[in-house]
Structure 1
Amino acid sequence: MNKHLLVATAVFGIFAGSAWAQSATYKIDPNHTRTIWEAKHFGTSTSRGQWEKTDGEITLDKAGKTGKADIVLDMNSIHTGVAPFNNHMKSPDFFDTANHPTARFVGDRFKFEGDKVTEVAGNLTIRGKTQPAVLKATAFNCFDHPSLKREVCGGDFETIVKRSQFDINWGLANRAAADDIKVTIQVEAIKQ
């Protein structure tokens, strides 16, 4: 093999290896992750609820300023504090969980400020329909977890979902429930 080619191959391998080493996978911690929603009720008070089961993983390369998020919501885990309201939210009027038991956000366009994530853009799928979505970080940090002995990264990520884009139209005509829904994903993920 040509000596220059051998050196070039070795140098490329070192740089490729160091770039690859910068990327880390983080598994969502279900004990510290919730997806919370807020919607105006008849233009007055705010109805709130959450999905209690959120799963997924995040790949993060702080040096390369890239990443990927794959977050799955168990739509049957919706909790409002009122059992009949939970059941209505699971019905075909809203999330139709019998036919669409999960929702999913896949984001692959990360924005950083220093080593902190400030935004993740990608696609949100609800009721089998996919629309673009941008999650803005209102907080982001990484820390060495004292009992897990591993790095944990997380924060609060917010977006506004226009439910009519996902064919969730119940109550729009009489303003019983707003079209714009604020969604906050409170997430912590453990480095694998």
Structure 2
Amino acid sequence: MRRAFFSLLVYHLVAWAIAISSLVSASSFAADRYVIDPEHTFSVFEYSHWGLSLQRGRFDKNSGVIELDLANKTGSVQIDIDASSVSTGVAVFDNNLRSASFFDAAQFPTIAFKSTSLRFDDNAKLTSIDGELTIKGVTRPAKFELTQFNCRFMVLYLKSACGANGSTKILRSDFNVGRYVPFVSDEVTLYFSVEAIKE
């Protein structure tokens, strides 16, 4: 009877250890979820105006979620941009950009980017993001090259946060916003500054 008791005890201890080990492994490799901080996230576009100068505008309302598993060098990014939040500093121009001639914000209120793969260097630092960019209902592949990526604990939030800067180039005619090409350049550079706070 004593032998049976000890066998049963050992069995339960082993089962308990395996269960704890599985939980630890799962938590160790689970992706951390970060929510976009709209106060520190901006999307900027740059284009050539009649070859005279490079002009810039931006979108002031951005939202989304980033998931990162730095240990396994995986993750995902979902960014949503309010098309009606376009801002150039000129009200008449802003209204024109919101119209059907350009973004048609009434019919297509959201510009979206959804990642398909994240690329990391040997130090688990995010270097580029491949994904799909949707503007005016048209979805095309886009690759954002990062110039900066950092994560740290933020005393301001009492939580961890990650931030990044990056850019990509697109042809606006690919997204049905090619009005005034070639006088206003077809090629547009998209920049972003993003910060996200861990849930």
SS at structure 2 position matched to 1:155 = strand
Counterpart of 1:44? Answer: 52
C-alpha deviations, 1:36-73, integer Å up to 9, x for none?
A: 11000012211111000000010001011011000000
Counterpart of 1:32? Answer: 40
Q: Which amino acid aligns with 1:97?
A: A
Counterpart CA distance in 2 for 1:99 and 1:117 is: 34
Counterpart CA distance in 1 for 2:175 and 2:140 is: 8
Contact 1:67 1:108 in 2 (8 A): no
Counterpart CA distance in 1 for 2:32 and 2:27 is: 12
Counterpart CA distance in 2 for 1:182 and 1:63 is: 32
Mapping of residues 8-19 of structure 1, within 5 Å? 10=19, 13-14=22-23, 16-19=25-28
SS at structure 1 position matched to 2:65 = strand
Structure 2 gap ranges (5+): 1-10
2:166 maps to 1:157: yes
- Following superposition, the deviation at residue 20 of structure 1 comes to 3.8
Mapping of residues 31-180 of structure 1, within 5 Å? 31-113=39-121, 114-172=123-181, 175-180=182-187
SS at structure 2 position matched to 1:137 = strand
Counterpart CA distance in 2 for 1:142 and 1:16 is: 22
Select the structure of larger CA radius of gyration: 2
Counterpart CA distance in 2 for 1:140 and 1:147 is: 19
Counterpart CA distance in 2 for 1:127 and 1:65 is: 32
TM-score by length of 2: 0.87
Counterpart CA distance in 2 for 1:120 and 1:155 is: 11
- In angstroms, what is the RMSD of aligned CA positions? 2.1
Q: Which amino acid aligns with 1:144?
A: F
C-alpha deviations, 1:126-159, integer Å up to 9, x for none?
A: 0001000111101111121112111110111211
2:197 maps to 1:190: yes
Query: What is the identity percentage for the equivalent residue pairs of Structure 1 and Structure 2?
Result: 37
Counterpart CA distance in 2 for 1:65 and 1:48 is: 34
- Following superposition, the deviation at residue 10 of structure 1 comes to 4.6
After the TM superposition, which parts of structure 1 deviate over 3 Å for at least 4 consecutive aligned residues? 9-12, 18-21
Contact 1:50 1:80 in 2 (8 A): yes
C-alpha deviations, 1:64-83, integer Å up to 9, x for none?
A: 10110000000000000000
Structure 1 gap ranges (5+): none
Q: 1:162 to 1:12 in 2, by over 3 A?
A: farther
